[in-house]
Amino acid sequence: MELRIENLCRRFRGTKALDNVSFTLRSGDVCLLLGPNGSGKTTLMKIIAGLMSADSGDICIDGEPLCTRDKARICFMPTENYFYSYMTARDAGKYYADFFRDFDRDEYAKLIDRAQIDMRQKIRTLSSGQSAKLRLSLALARDARITMFDEPINGVDVLTCDWVMDEIAQRRRDDRIILMSTHLVHQAEAVTNRAMCLRNGALVRDERVANVNLEDMYREVFGGRSDAQC
């Protein structure tokens, strides 16, 4: 499988969120998107997921323009909560099962059990770590060709971070693509094989992880910028 992005552009009120971004991901890639807040990481993933439109540029899967059939096999996990206040963990699973044909209820139940979350618990009462585990469980219970995680370990404790990274690592497959954004470079480095740096909407660095130290690369690309986080 191949995901090709060509000259993708997006503006918000005159500001470039994405500036002619081009790259290609292939089966087996687990790619880390790096960059300070506002660099375009979330915008890029939302456009790939079909949740936002680009002003120009192309997205192709296996050489063909992205279509409705392809979008059904793309999973995007946002960093924010998006559930109704009345929902329990079980309700969230039913919600996903209704919307996504590739959602595996049994796999979701196993993930929730490993996350030590009670299916009857109201989502609004979950801690930030439990909420992160819930969102990840919903995403990983899908049999998606392309799975994207927006800041999956943002604001969680060390043990939750380990749990999230372990679960993602177990889903690495030669016929799938994973794309993930995070500021926590060191924690994510072990599960990735590629890293791309976005700055002011432009792709400024694209490296195989085996060839670089990600923390050093981050400092080299973004060092001295007041908005850079590592």
Q: What is the pLDDT of residues 79-107, one digit of tens each?
A: 888 888 899 999 999 999 999 999 999 99
> Contact, 142 vs 176, CB < 8 A?
no
pLDDT higher than 80, residue 230: no
Please give the full DSSP string across 38-74, using - where no structure is assigned: TSSHHHHHHHHHTSS--SEEEEEETTEE--HHHHTTE
> Contact, 89 vs 117, CB < 8 A?
yes
C-alpha torsion sign, points 60, 66, 69, 73: positive
Mean local confidence (pLDDT), 107-111: 96
Measured distance CA(156)–CA(183) in Å, rounded: 12
Residue type, 128: S
Measured distance CA(226)–CA(221) in Å, rounded: 13
Mean local confidence (pLDDT), 197-213: 94
Measured distance CA(128)–CA(182) in Å, rounded: 16
Kindly report, residue by residue over 61-74, the tens digit of the pLDDT: 999 998 888 888 89
Mean local confidence (pLDDT), 159-175: 89
Residue type, 170: Q
Question: In this structure, what DSSP letter does residue 142 have?
Answer: B
Question: What pairs with residue 48 in β-bridges?
Answer: none
Average per-residue pLDDT for the chain: 91
Q: Which pLDDT score, from 0 to 100, does residue 79 have?
A: 87
Question: In this structure, what DSSP letter does residue 212 have?
Answer: S
Mean local confidence (pLDDT), 177-185: 90
Nearest alpha carbon to residue 199 among 56, 51, 16:
16
> Contact, 52 vs 10, CB < 8 A?
yes
Around Cβ 170, how many Cβ atoms within 10 Å? Answer: 10
The values of phi and psi at residue 73, to 5°, are -105, 15
Side by side, the strands of the sheet bearing 30-34 are: 74-77, 146-150, 177-181, 30-34, 194-199, 202-208
Nearest alpha carbon to residue 175 among 201, 199, 216, 145:
145
User: Which two tokens mark 182?
Assistant: 């995070």
pLDDT higher than 60, residue 35: yes
